Structure 1
Amino acid sequence: MDQTAAKIKSSGVEISLAADFPAVLVDRTRIVEVLVNLIENSINYMGEQSCPKIDIGYRIDGDSSEPVFFVGDNGIGIDQDQHEKVFNLFYQVKKKTKEAGTGVGLTIVKRIIEVHGGSVWIESGKGKGCSVCFTLPVHKI
């Protein structure tokens, strides 16, 4: 987590965090791992943004009562034909920067979300930023 905090600081990225998230019953450590992976991916694939930004939040889609959580950025985006591939083990989107990941981060994210009973997907277009969206079962109080 300290490495991620340092990476955020050195990148100059602005992070916006929504308030009042719905209560979900999850393994906190694993969900933190999901968020760290998604934030680091956003930073790694930010590109040359004058105002790099990451939004962490949720929305309710249509008639569904299930929240859709997301980590979105204004980075380089991902082509539609790669949206499913990025969750494959060792798959990496090509980028122009030197820093390369291992190609396992989004595979781990997908597995953690699915073990928690949720699903994960990409909403993005090349040059239009990227949002990694996921669902988690809501904890009824």
Structure 2
Amino acid sequence: MVSSYLQLLENRYRDDLDQDAQEFIDFAVDGADRMRAMVDDLLAFSRVEQAENAFEPVDCEAVVDRVTDDLQIQIAENDAVIVADSLPTLSGDSEQLQQLFSNLVSNGVKYNESETPRVEISAERRGDDWAFAVADNGIGIDPDRTDRIFEMFKRLHNADEYEGTGIGLSLCQEIVENHGGSIGVDSAPGEGSTFRFTLPAE
């Protein structure tokens, strides 16, 4: 509502506002939009924490198809390529797994300065678990700082460089652990990142 009324104010009184006033409105709208994004992410995190874990068979290939459909604008704007190997059907929460893959694929495209951002998704069976990898050719992460990326509100970049709330990877960790798995990342600056996580087959 705050954002909408500020934009209404700008549209109706644009000719009466000087440059400083328009900048103030832009700052306020940007702040309201970031707050809305943070509230949305916190609500998503809360839903995972309070989930009752009524798991059912989930086709991960269908989940990734929905993710790429949802992210088609971001993918098209960045000329990105998303490649998925044969993915399993496993026991889980479909909505949570869609959020997990969506965050990882979106990050692989966003934190990327390649001419053609590329994200590859694969999985292999290891005993009672499926081991997934989501690899990108993005900007990479300093290995000394990889631990903090899964902490709530911890960001490696300021909002002027890359938009975000600092909740996305914390949510990914919460989802994976809620399914009885674990998550980590292999990365180096300029060499991309590979997020690896395990999910029980049953």
Question: Does the pair score TM above 0.5?
Answer: yes
* Number of residues of Structure 1 aligned to a counterpart in Structure 2: 134
| Stretches (4+) displaced over 6 A | none
Aligned position for 1:38: 104
The unaligned stretches of length 5 or more in structure 2 are: 1-66
CA-atom RMSD, angstroms?
1.9
Residues 72, 95 of structure 1: CA spacing in aligned structure 2 closer, same or farther, 3 A cutoff?
farther
TM-score where L is the length of structure 1:
0.86
Aligned position for 2:192: 129
Larger relative helix fraction: 2
Matched, 1:71 2:131: no
Q: 2:181 aligns with which of 94, 112, 118?
A: 118
Query: Per chain length, whose mean CA-contact separation is higher, i.e. which structure has more relative contact order (CA < 8 Å, sep 6+)?
Result: 1
1:91-116 residue CA offsets vs partner (Å, 9 max, x unmatched): 11227964311100000000010010
TM-score where L is the length of structure 2:
0.61
Q: State which structure, 1 or 2, has the greater radius of gyration over its C-alpha atoms.
A: 2
Q: Following the alignment from structure 1 to structure 2, what is the Cα–Cα distance between the partners of residues 58 and 95?
A: 32
Contact (CA 8 Å) 1:45, 1:95: kept in 2 or not?
A: no
Match of 2:95, SS state, is helix
The unaligned stretches of length 5 or more in structure 1 are: none
Matched, 1:28 2:94: yes
Aligned position for 2:58: none
Q: 2:119 aligns with which of 31, 54, 71?
A: 54
